[in-house]
């Protein structure tokens, strides 16, 4: 126990230098936890929003349907039969029909996806109940982004043109009954939501759908001929890749911060060994072996990590707790630039694994960085050290 005791005394005895190192290292510590927590929170938030608004517990897709290939959409429809119909009747799934169309707002031609949704569905957060049709009206729901790009507002009427299952073009006026605000861009941009049954009639695809969204925690998926089940791992893969890419980007920033802190510790250690070489000689004269001196200096440096954790806890815990409960506001006009469904407030998520993992990382790096300069001591002669020489 003597070495920890002496290391602790020496560390505190070093005064301002110790505190400076601890403060710099604590900033890296807090920044890592905060940054990682932010992206974990972002991942959770985006996944939750996507699940609630679009993915549910997974989706059955008509075979051949590819949301990224518009040429597949024309033939991507199939009657709801057997198990899918049963799921719908039990309220465990809701179907979408997707048809390509064109609208003409203000004399412009805007290609859109017409998406039919059951106005009575409760599985997704899309406010589909507004689509309960009044007589002689084609009610339509659009998102705020679609509203901004098309110039359409609630109460506006616009002509929509589409091609039915037999290849015949038809057109009709639709009434924007609601403009929804959503963080999920993939149910908003370039899309118009219509009552499912009306779209089925318009497209000549009675009782047909393109995708069927299941309820949350749905499973196990059943094999249905003509349909392919896409689970959440598949559906959220792109989002997770985007979040991961952003995490890597931020990792570079806090790696630089950590590197600077380590540089400060390395420099302090190197200077400390140089400045304290006479002290090292004295310790050796008093009976310290070289190994013990190395352990003492390494531990002194490593204790910077412990002190940094304590210093970081003093201001980091309130800061992290505040951001976790109150969220971190993002500029409303820049949210879409993230390319994923994040809300105007991000709530970081800090797990025990994150805190423990970061602590182990910082302690390990600090110990290694503290040990490296002490290797000089291994070659040091006590007589040289006492004379103030560093051989």
Partner 1 sequence: MENSILIKTVDLTKVYPMGGQSITALDSVSLTFRKGEFAGLVGPSGSGKTTLLNILGSLDTPTKGSAEVLGEKVETLSHKKAAALRNRHIGFIFQTFNLLPVYTAYENVEFPLLLLGLPPAARKKAVMDALDWVHLADRAKSRPNQLSGGQCQRVAIARAVVKKPSLVLADEPTANLDAENSHHILHTMEDINRELRSTFIFATHDEKVIGHLRRKIVLVDGKVAKDEVIKAA
Residue number, 6 or 32, with CB nearest to partner 1: 6
Q: Greatest CA separation found in the chain?
A: 103
Least distance (Å) between residue 268 CB and partner 1: 14
Alpha helices (H) in the chain, listed in sequence order: 2-13, 16-50, 82-89, 144-150, 196-203, 232-235, 237-275, 277-285, 290-326, 352-374, 382-386
Residue with tokens 């005394």, as numbered in its chain: 9
Residues 6+ apart with CB under 8 A from 228: 60, 61, 63
Least gap, CB of 294 to partner 1 (angstroms) = 12
Residue 383 CB, nearest approach to partner 1 (Å): 5
Instruction: Give the nearest distance from C-beta 288 to partner 1 in angstroms.
Output: 6
How many angstroms from the chain centroid is the CA of residue 381?
Answer: 55
User: Does position 336 bind partner 1 by CB under 8 A?
Assistant: no
Per CB under 8 A, does 284 bind partner 1?
Answer: yes
3-state secondary structure of 191: strand
For residue 233, the SS3 value is: helix
Rounded to 10°, the helix 277-285/237-275 angle is 70
Q: Does 97 bind partner 1 (CB under 8 A)?
A: no
Q: What per-residue string of b and e applies to 62-73 under the rule 16 or more CB within 10 Å gives b?
A: beebeeeeeebb
Q: How far is the CB of 282 from partner 1 (least distance, A)?
A: 4
Q: Determine if 381 is a binding residue for partner 1 (CB under 8 A).
A: yes
Residue 327 φ then ψ, to 5°: 75, 170
User: Judged by CB under 8 A, which of 285, 317, 356, 390 binds partner 1?
Assistant: 285
Q: How far is the CB of 6 from partner 1 (least distance, A)?
A: 7
Please identify, using beta-carbon distances, which residue of 18 and 358 lies nearer to partner 1: 18
Shortest CB 14 distance to partner 1, Å: 7
Q: Classify residue 362 as exposed, middle or buried by CB count within 10 Å of its CB (0-12, 13-18, 19+).
A: buried
Strand partners, 213: 59, 94
What DSSP state is assigned to residue 72? Answer: G
Kindly tell me which of 278 and 345 has the beta carbon lying closer to partner 1. Answer: 278
386 binds partner 1 (CB under 8 A): yes
Cα three-residue angle 216-218-221, rounded to 5 degrees: 150
Q: Which is nearer to partner 1, 256 or 285 (CB)?
A: 285
With contacts defined by CB under 8 A, name the span among 211-219, 227-235, 282-290, 353-361 that binds partner 1.
282-290
139-to-116, 200, 365, 376 alpha-carbon distances in Å? 11, 14, 61, 80
Task: Kindly state whether residue 287 participates in binding partner 1, applying the rule CB under 8 A.
Answer: yes
Cβ neighbours, 10 Å, residue 368: 14
282 binds partner 1 (CB under 8 A): yes
Is 10 an interacting residue with respect to partner 1 (CB under 8 A)? yes
Map the footprint of partner 1 across residues 262-281, applying CB under 8 A.
278-279, 281
Q: Which of 4, 13, 70, 155 binds partner 1 (CB under 8 A)?
A: 13
Cβ at position 20, least distance to partner 1 in Å: 16
User: Cα–Cα distance between 339 and 50 in angstroms, integer?
Assistant: 13
Q: With binding defined as CB under 8 A, does residue 326 bind partner 1?
A: no
Between 221 and 306, CB nearer to partner 1: 306
| One residue of 79, 82, 226, 291 binding partner 1 per CB under 8 A | 291
- Does position 382 interact with partner 1 (CB under 8 A)? The reply is yes
Q: Site for partner 1 (CB under 8 A): how many residues? A: 26
Asked if 63 is part of the footprint of partner 1 (rule: CB under 8 A), the reply reads no
At closest approach, how far in Å is the CB of 275 from partner 1?
10
The CA distance from 370 to 390, in Å, is 18
CA distance 80 to 132: 21
Q: Is there binding between residue 6 and partner 1 (CB under 8 A)?
A: yes
The H-or-E segment that residue 376 falls in is: none
Q: Applying CB under 8 A, does 4 fall inside the site for partner 1?
A: no
Report the nearest approach of partner 1 to the CB of residue 1 (Å): 9
2 counts as binding partner 1 under rule CB under 8 A:
yes
Q: Catalog residues that contact partner 1 under the rule CB under 8 A.
A: 2, 5-6, 9-10, 12-14, 278-279, 281-292, 381-383, 386
């Amino acid at each position: 126990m003597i070495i920890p005791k002496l290391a602790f005394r020496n560390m505190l005895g070093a005064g301002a230098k110790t505190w400076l190192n601890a403060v710099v290292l604590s900033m890296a510590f807090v920044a890592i936890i905060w940054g990682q927590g932010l992206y974990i929170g972002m991942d959770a938030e985006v996944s939750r929003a996507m699940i609630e608004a679009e993915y549910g517990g997974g989706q059955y897709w008509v075979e051949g349907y590819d949301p990224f290939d518009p040429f597949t959409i024309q033939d991507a429809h199939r009657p709801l039969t057997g198990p899918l119909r049963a799921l719908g009747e039990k309220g465990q799934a809701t179907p979408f029909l997707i048809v390509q169309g064109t609208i003409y707002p203000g004399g412009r031609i805007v290609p859109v996806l017409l998406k039919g949704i059951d106005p009575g569905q409760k599985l997704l957060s899309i406010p589909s109940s507004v689509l309960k049709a009044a007589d002689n009206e084609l009610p339509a729901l659009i998102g705020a982004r679609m509203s901004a790009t098309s110039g359409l507002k609630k109460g506006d009427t616009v002509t929509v043109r589409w091609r039915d299952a037999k290849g015949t073009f038809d057109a009709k006026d639709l009434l924007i009954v609601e403009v929804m605000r959503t963080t999920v861009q993939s149910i908003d941009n370039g899309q118009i939501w219509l009552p499912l049954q009306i779209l089925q009639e318009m497209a000549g695809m009675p009782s047909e759908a393109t995708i069927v969204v299941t309820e949350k925690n749905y499973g196990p998926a059943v094999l249905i001929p003509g349909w392919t089940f896409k689970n959440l791992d598949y559906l959220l893969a792109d989002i997770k890749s985007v979040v991961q890419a952003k995490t890597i980007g931020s990792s570079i920033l806090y790696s630089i911060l950590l590197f600077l802190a380590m540089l400060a510790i390395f420099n302090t250690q190197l200077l400390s060994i140089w400045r304290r070489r006479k002290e090292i000689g004295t310790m050796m004269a008093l009976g310290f072996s070289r190994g013990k001196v190395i352990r003492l200096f390494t531990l002194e440096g490593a204790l910077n990590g412990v002190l940094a954790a304590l210093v970081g806890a003093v201001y980091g815990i309130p800061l992290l707790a505040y951001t976790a409960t109150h969220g971190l506001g993002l500029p409303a006009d820049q949210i879409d630039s993230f390319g994923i469904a994040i809300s105007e407030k991000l709530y970081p998520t800090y797990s025990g694994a994150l805190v423990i993992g970061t602590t182990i990382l910082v302690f390990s790096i600090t110990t290694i960085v503290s040990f490296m300069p002490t290797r000089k001591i291994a070659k040091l002669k006590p007589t040289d050290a006492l004379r103030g020489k560093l051989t």
